[in-house]
Amino acid sequence: MPSSQIADYEIGAILGVGTVGTIYEGTEKCTRQRYAIKKLHPGVSSDKLIRARFQREMTILERLRHPNIIAYYGGGESDDGLLYYVMELVEGGTTKEMIESNGHLPWQVVVDVARQICSALQCAHNHGVIHRDLKPGNLFLTKNAVVKLGDFGIARDLNSSDLTAAGLTVGTHAYMSPEQITGDALISGKTDLYALGCCLFEMLSGRKPFLGENFAQLFEQHLRQNPPHIRELVPQCPEELDNIIDQLLEKDPENRPFNARTVQAVMLQLGEKYDLKAEVGADGQSCDVGADAVTEKGRQILKQQISNRLHGREQPQVSWSRLVALAALIGGVILAATLLGSRN
């Protein structure tokens, strides 16, 4: 039986169980605020590489303080000698679940989601952190449709030594850039931008850009084939959005947008051009201010979709919390470990 307490937190229900750890609901004793607590399994706690990755993830999250990144609240070793850390409990689901529920997301929603992801990515890249596993399942949502980037378990910290052996590829096959597939040591923020292109394509169309039946086919497609233009699948999608997705999915990193901020600027321009500003309330005031308001209409649509989804479940809080926790646990596992050359 696990301890009923870790530091100042009372341990509640198990939210998810993964290969290397368990995530519990935790309640801070004084404030009664609820959190998610990720704790290593006893069976892997002595594995030096797993411990190193867990500690690296904690270090990264501690540095990345941003409204669109899952918040980190500290960690350490529990009384039973197991590593743990405390993080924000996000209960709105993920973009993956929203795609599955709705088939696809309206392009107005995708513009706002992309704006928020780009803000998170730019923060990470400014700190020398490459996520390396950007995908819809790692894009968490609050009930107010704020996007939170999570799962930095296989992130590359350019300020520290790499924990991935040379010649190995890491990531999720459907979203891996050509340079990840070839085991290129010179990955950069543009690696995440390629994955962002895959995510936006999937959000808009409801399908991934490449449909290989196994990792070998997917790798070949990522390396040598071009996906269809998004407007071929979603004719109502603005041409500008189609164009930026094409640029994000360029095989050569040099041909992709300069950085996440460049992509974010395109989303803001789309918001201006297509009048996606915040709706005006009964008091004559907009629902939001600043740059966020430019794409607020998309967030309002997504907020309603999240509410519909949550109210349609028998136990929405537990179900969504488990979803977030299970996706976060993926950070302890290298989803692809393929030696350079084995892709053929």
Which residues are catalytic, by number? 133
Q: What are phi and psi of 323, to 5 degrees?
A: -60, -50
Task: Provide the 3-class DSSP secondary structure of residue 75.
Answer: strand
Name the nearest CA neighbour of 237 among 137, 99, 136, 105: 105
Name the nearest CA neighbour of 241 among 147, 109, 100, 96: 109
Give CA–CA dist 294/248, Å, rounded: 22
What DSSP string describes 228-251? PPHHHH-TTS-HHHHHHHHHHT-S
HSE-up of residue 302 (Cα within 13 Å, Cβ side): 33
Cα–Cα distances in angstroms (integers) from residue 265 to residues 44, 239, 289, in the given order: 44, 15, 17
Contact 276, 112 (CB under 8 A): yes
Q: Exposed e or buried b for every residue in 297-336, given b needs 16+ CB within 10 A?
A: bbbbbbbebbeebbeeeeebeeebbbbbbbbbbbbbbbbb
